Structure 1
Amino acid sequence: MLAGSPAERVVDRTLRAHRSLSSPQRQALKEVIFNVGLWRRRLDFLLDHPTAPPPLILFAFLHGLAHLPAPEAASLSGVGEGSTPTLNPAPPPSLALRYSLPDWLADHLSQELGPDADAFCAHLNVPGPVTLRTNPLRNSRDDLASRLRSEGVSTRPGAWSPLALHVDGPRPNLYALPSLQEGRFEVQDEGSQLLGLLLDAQPGETVLDLCAGAGGKTLLLGAQMRDSGKLLAHDPDPERLDRLLQRSSRAGLTRVQVLRSPPTPGLDAHRVLVDAPCSELGPLRRGPDLRFHASPDVLSRFPPLQLELLHRAADLLRPGGRLVYATCTVNRAENQDVVVAFLASRPDFHPVRPGQGWLPVACVRDGFLFVAPHLHGTDAFFAAVLERSAG
């Protein structure tokens, strides 16, 4: 993994090579591999050695970050007691070293978040909660919580989405639960749920999810519409659309239509969701090596495409319709700047407050939705709600 292999692949390969390990041992090995990958820059700083061999890196993690006594850390890491390194006792001098980030990323987050950058980066190193979205076509949130409890899964309500339940305790095998197979819930971050809810899709309308992916938000929109009207989902990846159809059937949705080709102007939709491709800085806590696989050019790669998608969506929307533009990143160039550029060329559109009447003010910043792990416990998301003039 330190050579660039994805963390999940390294874990899978390692566990397959050590099938005799007990369940607790397998879990401990998985935690160590993920944490060494996550903290690689901080560990380099502790060792003052950017190319230290794996036993020394493991020792630095166990002793320097997990705070095991040096003899125990040396034994577990395979470092002989007589050759244990002296770890750097100084505090890390920069945000990048403190939270194990590439320099360019730490600099960008400092510029974007100012005094909040430290808290945001700290939360990138803590695993996010396992969050479920209730399918209201199958059950209420309270009913789902009761059903999950009968299946051995304890949950608590989310703070922001009325559909969210957070799983308490160790992550269960959700995909083996009868309640999932019956379409009673989907796994979806609470912030991601908010993006779909902002569209406020209504029964009987024509609604388009222009960048549907595998359809998590499409399913939410279908539930909002009570499986009526016309729900269209487009994505350039045909395999994702195939998965969406499978998930739709499980969720009890019969009106979802997948579009294999981009929709053409004149669709006359009531509502369009544009969950745009982006630099994906918002869910970095979901993978220990995601931050190291990105490069600085990701910050400028997407705005032209995002603006094009917004204009395309606008041409598909009827007068008086609603458009939600969303990303899962923290980058003004992809968020506010794209919206401002769009509005400058489309005077027939105007912004409205997200979630008027139900979304707490804590989730709204400068007229846009903004949620983040250090403030809301969600991944980081941005959204603008735009409406087209009726005349």
Structure 2
Amino acid sequence: MVTGALSQVLSGNPAERVLDRTLRAHRLLSREQRQVLAEAVFNVALWRRRLAFHLGTSEASGSELLCAFLAQLVGLSSDVAARLSGLATPPELVSGEPSSLALRYSLPDWLAEHFTREWGDAAGDFCAHLNVPGPITLRANLLKTRREDLQTRLRAEGVETRPGALSPLALQVVGPKPNLYGLDSLREGLFEVQDEGSQGIGLLVEARPGETVLDLCAGAGGKTLLLGAAMENRGRLLAYDPDAGRLDRLLQRSSRAGLSIVQVLRSPPEGLLADRVLVDAPCSELGSLRRGPDLRFRLEPGALSALPPVQRDLLARARRLVRPGGRLVYATCTVNRAENEDVVHDFLQGAPEFQLVPAEGSEGFWVRAPHLQGTDGFFAAVFERRAG
């Protein structure tokens, strides 16, 4: 069962979908067996390059990779690891740590080289944190509760949390992963699951009650809901996304959250002036690689250069929609200068009516990263349009 699932993942099928199908096909597995299956699939999917190094070959089977994982990273004896992996004899394993960043942290070569260019001496620390699952972080919905009251409510439902260090809205789940979607508090709209870095981007907008606020790349609306709560459900909150299905989900989530001011736009906005505009741009998503064990292996190098033209177009559109004296926030969840700093510099050169509002971080930009603040990787630039 495990090796069959691994073969599918190693062939390019998304690990989460493979695991879901496998668990559905084996519903009689105990909770412990399901957990072991998930750990085996996810860890071998994640560490495949490091494991191949220990096996001394890039052509290893799923069973051999599983054996290397159990022996090298779990610490079982080679005989026991082989037996649990379905191998007649244990393979010879190379001990020690790989010298290259790519093999040490199980990354494609091109991606390890990219992170070295981006982070310099800190690249190893960043890559190490990509191999550790991120925390489960919740955002309290201030339209319905306070963070302290939500923490008490969750404790009564069996979920322990601690306040986040970066966002005044954040609670981090402590202990084993709970079934959040089975909680009444979620169904009542008291919280949303949202990384603390993502919450930070929404807070940078500084949306206020009574304003006109536009979320130009709303998606399913995680940041839109945060903006609406900051506006205290007063004003005009516009949300656009080219994916109509995601906007439909946003409307459902808005209803659950008690947010009635959201106006979904089914075509790109034109002819309006907003007090605040958020461009949470589509990007290569390198900042969220720790959220999936095989995402790094399904990326192509071309992803790093494909999106800057789209991002520039979005900023050019947003430029026309910000009133004098208003605020524009450009954000991504990637680690790539071509999509971040370069896009911002190009925008400022062509839009003299905007000025950069310095934020803490390099070059006055707002940056979050797993090895720095413990969040996913995010980038943001805050602009203000000069009055008059």
1:110 to 96, 113, 116: 116
Find the partner of 2:309 among 304, 307, 313: 304
Number of residues paired by the alignment? Answer: 380
- Partner Cα distance (1:113, 1:53) in 2: 33
Deviations 1:113-168 (A, max 9, x none): 00111011001111100000010111111110001001000000111011000000
Return the alpha-carbon distance in structure 1 between the equivalents of residues 31 and 135 of structure 2. 22
CA distance in structure 2 between the partners assigned to 1:97 and 1:244 by the alignment? 40
The one-letter code of the counterpart of 1:86 is E
What's 1:46 paired with? 54
Given candidates 212, 221, 226, the residue that maps to 1:220 is: 226
Partner of 2:320: 315
Q: Distance in 2 between matches of 1:173 and 1:79?
A: 35
Query: Does the alignment pair 1:267 with 2:272?
Result: yes
Q: Counterpart in 1 of 2:294? A: 289
Q: Distance in 2 between matches of 1:2 and 1:257?
A: 43
Whole-angstrom distance in 1 between the partners of 2:192 and 2:24: 29
Question: Equivalent residues in 2 for 1:225-244 (5 A)?
Answer: 225-244=231-250
1:16 aligns with 2:24: yes
Distance 1:21 1:343 in 2: 57
- Farther off after superposition, 364-373 or 191-200: 364-373
Structure-2 separation of matches of 1:371 and 1:13: 34
- How far does the alpha carbon of each residue in 1:85-137 deviate from its partner, in whole angstroms, 9 at most, with x for none? 11112421200000000000000000000011101100111110000001011
2:36 to 24, 28, 46: 28
CA distance in 1, matches of 2:63, 2:97: 23
Match of 2:354 among 349, 368, 387: 349
Structure-2 residue corresponding to 1:143:
149
After superposing the two structures, state which structure 1 stretch, 9-18 or 115-124, moved more. Answer: 9-18
Q: Which stretch of the first structure deviates more once superposed, 70-79 or 129-138? A: 70-79
Q: Give the TM-score normalised by structure 2.
A: 0.96
Distance in 2, matches of 1:251 and 1:20, equals: 36
Pairs within 5 Å for 1:1-391: 1-80=9-88, 83-264=89-270, 266-354=271-359, 361=360, 364-391=361-388
Match of 2:4 in 1: none
Structure 1 length-normalised TM: 0.96
**2-side partners of 1:54 and 1:340: how far apart?**
46
Q: Displacement, 1:65?
A: 1.3
Q: Report the CA distance between 1:198 and its aligned residue.
A: 0.2
Unaligned runs of 5+ in 1: 355-360
Deviation at 1:16, TM superposition (A): 2.7
Stretches of structure 2 that go unaligned for 5 or more consecutive residues are 1-8
CA apart distance, 1:353: 2.5
Which amino acid counterpart does residue 240 of structure 2 have in structure 1?
H
- Which letter maps to 2:142? P
The sequence identity of aligned pairs, in percent, is: 67
Task: For 1:224, give the aligned amino acid.
Answer: A
For the aligned residue pairs, the C-alpha RMSD in angstroms reads 0.9
| Aligned counterparts of 2:146 and 2:12: Cα–Cα separation in 1 | 44
Cα distance in structure 2, aligned partners of 1:189 and 1:377: 10
| 3-state SS of 2:287 partner | coil
